[in-house]
Amino acid sequence: MRKRSEPHTFEQRILAQKLRLEHELSRLPAGHQRDSVAARIDQLHTAAEMYDFLMPREEAPAAR
């Protein structure tokens, strides 16, 4: 039986995709395709910010 890998978190998947697109962006000449990749990177950044905003925070223990 094949061993399953550890599941990746949303943040890890977003970061991996962003890094891949940034590498792709560095190799593209100016033009429509480059603009599309840059827009996708911006979307990933926005998605990461929204996720961070929407995730519940652990409250710090109250001081006694």
Domain boundaries, the chain: 16-54
Distance of CA 24 to the CA centre of its chain: 15
This prediction's pTM: 0.75
Rounded-to-5 percentages of helix, strand, coil across the chain: 65, 0, 35
Residue 63 has pLDDT above 80, yes or no: no
Distance of CA 7 to the CA centre of its chain: 15
Identify the DSSP state of 64: -
User: Using one digit for the tens of pLDDT, what is the confidence trace for 5-62?
Assistant: 777 888 999 999 999 999 999 999 999 999 999 999 999 999 999 999 998 877 656 6
